[in-house]
């Protein structure tokens, strides 16, 4: 039925293909994480076995007396060494990164998925004859595209592939959900949307969301990593056998930078996102002033944009407040992104307000 194949249905086809490829990328990245875990465990086993051999040969009395603290010190120094190594790898330029075959497959698939996704987005835009971010379905289409774009662009600078499964998973969920639940046929724009500010405001908001998504993923990892570090530290005066057996959280964490480093990079993403969000807020006000005759009116969407802005301002403050740095501030970044997602989904669909542009009825 090529006769009836409209540009929009081509777009839908491309989008579904992209979703399928992202799903595969998600699997590849997940395999990568578990392989990292296994590798880290192997390395540790090797060390432990070696040490056991040594201590068997050593005088038993001294081993008994000093073994535990020595093992503890060992554990800590091993943690430090791991951290240093992970951080170096994290900062390394793409060509010098560890050759993680599954992560590579994941990234290649993500790039491929991105190309289909981009194709789907552009064809939708051409079919509609305007920017493809004018209703819920299109926000989701472009927003997720930007998430992937920001992720791939960040890869050039940092080895963030450990976030790959989070990013691709998130995109599969959002994009798949949008394609299923939010899809609407192309219809002409409502008058209030005919504005350059649609192009600017919504795009920048999506971009900020994409950046916040990365910050969110990093903050989650930061919390997991901090827990592991705490547990490892608590083991500092346990014996080597306990250490080997102890569970300190998912094993792939051992190949990741330390919680400090994760926090620092999460913060960097968050402040860039915050700048864009600030801009979103201002651009939205200018638009509201043109469209509705007031720049601010505490409309539901305005409220949530403001709430999110304040939450991230809180996060930035928390990072500078004694006693709040570290895990507490990470929670704020997580809450901030939860609010972003809430704003995009629940607020758009169920809250009443002037921003009735979801295109859903």
Partner 1 sequence: MSRSRSETPGAPEPTEGTLRPADHADSTTDAGAGEITQPALGLVGWLRWGWRQLTSMRTALVLLLLLAIAAVPGSIVPQRSADPNGVTQYYVDNPDLAPVLDGLQLFDVYTSIWFSAIYILLFISLIGCVIPRTRHHWKALRARPPRTPARLERLADFRSSIIELPAGAAPDTAAATAIEVAADQLKRGGYRVERYDSRGTLSVSAERGYVRETGNLVFHTALIGVLVAVGVGGGFTYTGQGVIIEGGTFVNTLLDYTSFNPGRFVDEETLTPYSLTLDDFSVTYQPSGTQGAGQAGDFVAHLTTQIAGESAQQGEVRVNHPLDMAGDRIYLMGNGYAPTITIRNSDGIVVFSESVPFLAQDTNMTSLGVIKVPDGMPEQLGLVGFFYPTQAPLTTGAFASAYPSLVNPVITLDVYEGDLGIDDGTPRSVYALDTTDMTQLTGRKIDVDSIELAPGETADLPAGLGTITFENESPAGAEGYDESVKRFVSLSIHRDAAATWVLLFAVLAVLGLLAALFIPRRRLWVKATPDGRTVRLEYAGLARGEDPAIAAALDQFVERHGDAVAPLLRETLTTPGPPTAPDRDDVDGSEPGRADPRPVD
Continuous H helices in 92-202: 101-128, 136-155, 164-177, 196-197
* Closer CB to partner 1, 38 or 92, in the complex: 92
Q: Taking the mean position of all CA atoms in its chain, how far away is CA 3?
A: 41
Contact assessment for residue 85 and residue 257, using Cβ atoms and an 8 Å cutoff: no
Q: Where are the alpha helices (DSSP H) in 195-293?
A: 196-197, 203-234, 240-245, 259-291
CB closer to ligand HEM, 180 vs 320 = 320
In the complex with partner 1, which residue's Cβ is closer, 143 or 273?
273
Q: In angstroms, what is the minimal distance from the CB of 253 to partner 1?
A: 17
Give the contacts of 93 (CB within 8 A, at least 6 positions apart). none
Q: Which is nearer to partner 1, 35 or 268 (CB)?
A: 268
CB of 262 to ligand HEM, least distance (A): 18
Least distance in angstroms from the C-beta of 25 to partner 1: 28
**Nearer Cβ to partner 1 (207/261):** 261
Closest distance to ligand HEM from the beta carbon of 303 (Å)? 16
Question: For every residue of 85-108, which 3-state class applies, written as one string?
Answer: HHHHHHHCCHHHCCCCHHHHHHHH
Residue 282 binding ligand HEM, by CB under 6 A: no
Partner interacting with residue 342 (select from partner 1, ligand HEM, none; CB below 5-8 Å by kind): none
Cβ nearer to partner 1, comparing 116 with 216: 216
Running DSSP on this structure, what letter comes out for residue 134?
A: S
| CB of 94 or CB of 245, closer to partner 1 | 94
Q: What are the tokens at 58?
A: 């050593």
Tokens in use for 36? 């990292």
| DSSP state for residue 157 in the 8-state scheme | T
Choose one: 137-145, 281-289, 310-318, 325-333; the region binding ligand HEM (CB under 6 A).
310-318
Q: Is 307 in the site for ligand HEM (CB under 6 A)?
A: no
| Spacing of C-alpha 248 from chain mean position | 23
> Which residue of 112, 316, 335, 354 would you call a contact of ligand HEM, by CB under 6 A?
316
Which residues are at the interface with partner 1 (CB under 8 A)?
A: 87, 185-192, 194-195, 197, 257, 260-261, 263-265, 267-268, 271, 274-275, 278-279, 282, 285-287, 289-300, 303-304, 306-307, 310-311, 313-314, 317-325, 332, 347, 351-354
Residue with Cβ nearer partner 1 (35 or 325) = 325
- Please enumerate in sequence order all residues whose Cβ is within 8 A of that of 200, keeping only pairs 6 or more positions apart, or say none: 283
The secondary structure element, H or E, covering residue 80 is: helix 60-91
Indicate which single residue of 49, 80, 294, 317 sits in contact with ligand HEM (rule: CB under 6 A): 317
Q: How many residues bind ligand HEM (CB under 6 A)?
A: 4
- Structure tokens given for 65: 């007396």
Of 320, 322, 350, 352, the one binding ligand HEM (CB under 6 A) is 320
The least CB distance from residue 133 to partner 1, in Å, is: 17
Interacting partner of 318 out of partner 1, ligand HEM, none (Cβ under 5 to 8 A depending on kind): partner 1
- Residue-wise DSSP of 18-56: HHHHHHHHHHHHHHHHHHHHHHHHHHHHHHHHHHHHHHH
Rounding to the nearest 10 degrees, give the CA dihedral for residues 340, 341, 345, 351. -40
Residues that bind ligand HEM (CB under 6 A): 313, 316-317, 320
């Amino acid at each position: 039925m090529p006769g009836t194949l409209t540009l929009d249905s081509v777009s839908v086809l491309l989008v579904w293909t992209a979703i399928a490829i992202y799903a595969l990328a998600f699997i590849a990245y997940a395999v990568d994480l578990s392989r990292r875990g296994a590798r880290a465990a192997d390395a540790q086993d090797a060390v432990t076995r070696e040490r056991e051999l040594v201590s068997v040969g050593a005088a038993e009395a001294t081993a008994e007396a000093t073994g535990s603290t020595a093992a503890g010190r060992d554990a800590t120094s091993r943690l430090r060494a791991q951290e240093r190594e992970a951080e170096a790898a994290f900062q390394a330029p793409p060509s010098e990164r560890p050759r993680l075959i599954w992560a590579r497959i994941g990234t290649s698939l993500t790039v491929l998925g991105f190309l289909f996704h981009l194709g789907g987005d552009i064809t939708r835009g051409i079919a509609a004859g305007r920017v493809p971010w004018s209703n819920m379905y299109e926000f989701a289409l472009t927003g997720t595209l930007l998430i992937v774009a920001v992720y791939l662009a960040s890869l050039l600078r940092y080895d963030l592939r450990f976030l790959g499964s989070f990013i691709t998973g998130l995109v599969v969920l959002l994009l798949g959900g949008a394609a299923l639940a939010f899809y609407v046929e192309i219809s002409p724009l409502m008058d209030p949307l005919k504005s350059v500010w649609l192009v600017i405001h919504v795009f920048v908001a999506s971009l900020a969301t994409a950046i916040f998504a990365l910050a969110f993923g990093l903050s989650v990892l930061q919390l997991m990593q901090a827990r592991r570090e705490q547990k490892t530290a608590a083991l500092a005066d346990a014996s080597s056998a306990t250490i080997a057996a102890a569970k300190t959280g998912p094993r792939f964490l051992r190949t990741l930078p330390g919680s400090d480093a994760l926090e620092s990079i999460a913060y960097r993403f968050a402040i860039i996102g915050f700048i864009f969000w600030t801009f979103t807020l201002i651009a939205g006000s200018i638009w509201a002033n043109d469209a509705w005759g007031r720049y601010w009116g505490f409309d539901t969407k305005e409220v949530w944009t403001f709430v999110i802005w304040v939450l991230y301002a809180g996060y930035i403050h928390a990072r500078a407040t004694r006693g709040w740095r570290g895990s507490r501030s990470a929670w704020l970044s997580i809450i901030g992104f939860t609010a972003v997602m809430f704003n995009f989904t629940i607020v758009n669909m169920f809250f009443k307000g002037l921003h009735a542009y979801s295109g859903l009825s």
